[in-house]
Chain A
Amino acid sequence: MSGVLVVMEHRDGVFNRMSWEALAAGQQIAAASGQPLSAVIVGSDLETLSGELASKKLDKGYRIEHALLKNYTADGYVLALEQLIKKLDPSFVVFPHTYQVRDFAPRLATRFGQVLLADLVGLRRDDDSFVFVRQLFQGKLNADYRHAGAGPCFLSVQAGAFRAESLDAGSASVETFAPQLEAGVIRNKPEAPFREAAQTVDLGSAPIIVSVGRGIKEQDNLPMIEELAQALGGEIAASRPICDNGWLPMERQVGSSGQTVSPKLYLAIGISGAIQHLVGMKGSKTVVAINKDENAPIFEVADYGIVGDLFDVVPALTEAVKKAKGA
């Protein structure tokens, strides 16, 4: 058993950005353990993508091509990758922690009697093996894990945890691998992906965003936040639970299942900062957090923080903003 295999993800002929981050993580493991690095793409008509893959510093590229892999299905991906992994016998299999990977990678790892170490935020070499770091309790705590199994070590890396910019260019040969697949083994019948009603708010271009989370407690308390947003001249946004409750429309949701924003100012009010929210806003230039829990993960990404009761702080802030603007 040897080598690091990175499983790349793509849609509509374009690599998912997180795939490059997974490849960067793979390079780090390969360099630290002195093992060869390879990467694999799964699908059909992979000519252009495999050209792009060949331009990276890899020992080898693989393209698993089959007409039945044109659209993603868990059964198709598990079977195809299982065959390649059995052939290559790698020590590590690395994925980006995307929704698609969450859908099939645990099942694939189970085929090898292994457990996916999911959503890693870091890793380090220690005593001839690796320590893998992931978050617990929605980011409130970190934990060090080790792999103890005899089979390949399956890993997925969190968005933004490894830097795609650090990838080295190179020239690799890409080998085609034809898996044994029959239509009968694919049980799920997927339809084409779709988006719901067109977005009418483009939070992505807003310079100031005032965002609200569970801490607001009730819909009746929202006007307080709207007033602050208005005073600052910003757009109002929210974390997922607020939109799930129907208190604000889905299009105002920031996070992995909503919009990704990078305003000049992101004001997070009563938002604890679960990772699903952070990935949608951590590109903001300045983050201000108001939260009663000083250990809330939102403070890890905040430039300025006020630890306090939002019901006291927000009205005071609205008044202070109005005063500063001379209104």
Chain B
Amino acid sequence: MKIIVAIKQVPVRDSSLHIDAGGHWIDEDDLSYEINEPDAYALEEALQLKEKHGGEVIAVLAGPERGSQTIREALAKGADRAIHIECDDLASLDTLGIANRLAAAIKDEKADLILTGLQSDDLGLGQTGVVLAELLGIPHATIIMQVEAGQGSIKVKRELEDGWFQHLEMPLPALLTIQSGISKLRYATLMGIKKAKTKEVRRVSAGELPQAAAATVTLERVYLPEKKKETQLIDGSPNEAAAKLVEKLKFEVRVI
């Protein structure tokens, strides 16, 4: 089974974010980056499928040079090779522009299965995978908890709302967006890290790919959300704050 995993590099969770001077995006200078968490689960699922059924796992990432760190980590965890679409202009593209690049870079691979995380931790649009499936003309399913591969088809467990689930079967090739937390993520082994250095990374410059159409949606301004509720912040040492909060719970909220 040939599996492509589309991964994205995002600022480390819990980074302290500062809006840039123009108010168009965040200041990227002091940030550290890591693999988007849902994409890490997509990679894990791909590696487990390969262990069960054999085949090849190819990681694909679109982004600037710093993305090579995330690619190396994916290779160290067990991906066989990678494709790096090198571009500095992600911010000017919309989902369609990015999905077009991914589609152009991977279509000749003729993968059986394409996996990606259900959404990114930064933009949170949750649609690159679905749009990519449409561009490649293959079926898809989203928010997947489990994958069972059959002959020329797969059976998946899809998460619905409020604790409901559903199984569905679909022909291959297909695209799935993977839910976070469906399995335990592996760590790269020392051997894996060593081997990663010798694995192939195909670099594609955005210029080699078909020119993206103008973005149909544009991000105009980034700002801190206004508070919807008046929050009473309780200060002091832990003991003082705890005592004050208990007073509130007793006399205002009346739960003690």
Contact = CB atoms under 8 A, between A and B. Distances in A.
Say which size band chain A's interface belongs to: 35 or more
A259 B163 contact: yes
B216 A141 contact: no
Contact of B121 (A138, A150, A289, A299): A138
Contacts of B233: 304-307
A316 B166 contact: no
A192 interface: yes
A190 B168 contact: yes
B168 A137 contact: no
Contacts of A150: 216
A278 to B, nearest CB: 10
Contact of B130 (A103, A114, A260, A265): A103
Interface in B232-252: 232-235, 238-239, 241-243, 245-246, 248-250
Interface string B40-75: 000000000000000000000000000000000000
Contacts of B221: 143-144
A146 B224 contact: no
A188 B158 CA distance: 12
Interface in A94-130: 98-100, 102-107, 109-111, 113-119
Contact of A240 (B94, B181, B215): B181
Contacts of B171: 187
Interface in B91-146: 94-96, 99, 121-127, 130-131, 133-135, 139-143
B131 A107 contact: yes
A313 B238 contact: yes
Nearest to B163: A195
A303 interface: yes
A293 interface: yes
A189 interface: yes
Interface stretch (A27-35, A41-49, A50-58, A319-327): A319-327
B140 A107 contact: yes
A74 interface: yes
A245 B184 CA distance: 8
Contact of B242 (A103, A196, A313): A313
Given A99-B143, A136-B122, A308-B238, A115 B229 contact: no
B225 A324 contact: no
A300 B241 contact: no
A263 B90 CA distance: 43
A256 B161 contact: yes
Contact of A102 (B127, B168, B248, B256): B127
Nearest to B234: A306
Nearest to B166: A193
Given A118-B126, A136-B122, A137-B17, A99 B217 contact: no
B34 interface: no
B80 interface: no
A193 B162 contact: no
A208 to B, nearest CB: 6
Nearest to B239: A316
A301 interface: yes
B222 A143 contact: yes
A241 B37 CA distance: 11
Interface string B1-23: 00000000001001011010000
Given A191-B169, A287-B229, 11 more contacts: A99-B159, A102-B126, A107-B133, A134-B124, A137-B11, A143-B221, A148-B216, A148-B217, A305-B234, A316-B239, A317-B246
15 contacts: A75-B139, A99-B160, A100-B160, A102-B142, A102-B143, A114-B216, A115-B215, A116-B95, A136-B124, A137-B11, A137-B17, A138-B121, A244-B182, A313-B242, A320-B245
